[in-house]
Structure 1
C-alpha cells in the first residue's frame, strides 16, 4: 500500500516538474522574442538616421543654391546705361520705345540677329530698337566684353547699314534718319548707337548723363 502511494507521489512530482519546466521555457522564449524585436527596431532606427541627416543636408544645399541670382539679371552698369537713354529722350519716346537691358539667346534670337552680337559679347547693354520696318530707330549703349569689341562695333554698324538699305527705296524720310546715325566709342570703351530724329541732341544727352 505504502509502495503504491510513493509511486503515485513520485509520478505527481514528476508531472509538476515538467509543467514548471515548460512554463519557464515559454517565458524565456517570449523574453528572447521581445529582446530580438527591440534589437531589430533599434537597429532600424540607427540605420535610418544617416539617411535622414543626408536628406536634410541635401535640402539645405538645394536651398542655398536656389538663393543665387537668376541668370539674365540687369547689372548696375546696364541700369546706368538705361537711365542715360531715358534722360536723353522725351516722355513720348520713353513710353513707346522700351529699353532692354538683357539679352537671352533663345527669347531674343531675332534682336540678336538684327544686332549681330549676343549675350556672350557684352559686359552690359541697354538697347532700344524698332522691331518692325516702319521706322528707322535704334538707340543703344553697350560695353563690349573683353576681346569682343570688334564684334560689337561691327554689329552696331551692320545694323545701321541694314536700316539704310531697308528704307532706301521705301521711306525717304526714314532713310535720311538711318543715314545720319552715329556709332561712337567713348574713352572707357563704351559704344553708343544713336539712330533717331535729332540724333546729335540725343547722343549729347546720353554722354552727359553717363558722365554726370
Structure 2
C-alpha cells in the first residue's frame, strides 16, 4: 500500500512539473524596455544619454552607456538618478522591471522611462514619477522657457498592460504613442 501511494504521489508530481514547464515555455518573454526607449529616440539622443535598467530587485545598471562610464561613476550616477526620481532605493524589488533615461543637467528637460512595478507598488512608483515631473516643471517655469514648454507637455501614464510610462521630451506625444505601440 505504501509503495502504491508513493507511486501515485510521484506520478502526480511528475504531471504537475510537466504542466508547469509547459506553461513557462508558452509565456511571452519580457519586453526589452531599453530597446523600446532606444527605438523611440534619435541617434543623437542614443549617443548622448545613458539608459538605466533593472529588474527583480537587482542593482540597476547602465543598459546603454554611450559615454563609457566606469563602474564607480555609473553607480554614483544611478544613485543620483534614483534620488532625483524619488524612487525607493531601499526596496529595489518593488520597482519590478524598468528602464529610463534622463538628463541630470539643469538646462534640459528630458526623461523617458518605462516601469513595470512589482504588484502592490504601482501607486508608489506612479506618485514618485508624477512628483518628479511636477518638480521638473517648477524648476524650468521661470528659467528656460523652451525647456519649460517641454516639461509642461510631459506626461506620466499608467497603461492597461501594467507599465507606467513617463515621457518628457520634444514631441512627447509621438514618443508616448511609439512606446505604447511597442508595448502592445
The TM-score with structure 2 as length reference comes to 0.68
SS of residue in 2 equivalent to 1:94: helix
Deviations 1:133-180 (A, max 9, x none): 110010000001111111100111011111111111110110111110
Q: Whole-Å Cα distance in 1 between the matches of residues 153 and 53 of structure 2?
A: 25
Alignment of 1:112 with 2:82, yes or no, is yes
Query: Displacement, 1:89?
Result: 1.2
Query: Displacement, 1:120?
Result: 3.2
Runs of 4+ in structure 1 over 6 Å off: none
Is the CA contact (8 Å cut-off) linking 1:184 and 1:193 kept in structure 2?
yes
Q: Which is helix-richer, 1 or 2? A: 1
SS of residue in 2 equivalent to 1:100: strand
| 1:198 aligns with one of 171, 178, 182 | 171
Matched residue, 1:81: 33
Matched residue, 1:13: none
Alignment of 1:170 with 2:140, yes or no, is no
Matched residue, 1:131: 104
In structure 1, stretches of 5+ residues that fail to align are 1-75
| 1:153 aligns with one of 126, 146, 151 | 126
Matched residue, 2:42: 90
Q: Whole-Å Cα distance in 2 between the matches of residues 97 and 109 of structure 1?
A: 16
RMSD (CA atoms):
1.8
Question: Aligned residues, how many?
Answer: 135
Q: Whole-Å Cα distance in 2 between the matches of residues 162 and 185 of structure 1?
A: 19
Q: Whole-Å Cα distance in 2 between the matches of residues 115 and 147 of structure 1?
A: 19
Is the CA contact (8 Å cut-off) linking 1:185 and 1:191 kept in structure 2?
yes
Deviations 1:25-47 (A, max 9, x none): xxxxxxxxxxxxxxxxxxxxxxx
Matched residue, 2:7: none
Is the CA contact (8 Å cut-off) linking 1:87 and 1:209 kept in structure 2?
no
Structure number, greater radius of gyration: 1
Matched residue, 1:40: none
Q: Whole-Å Cα distance in 2 between the matches of residues 137 and 121 of structure 1?
A: 24
In structure 2, stretches of 5+ residues that fail to align are 1-28, 61-74
The TM-score with structure 1 as length reference comes to 0.60
Range moving further from structure 2, 137-146 or 200-209: 200-209
Alignment of 1:99 with 2:51, yes or no, is yes
Q: Whole-Å Cα distance in 2 between the matches of residues 92 and 109 of structure 1?
A: 25
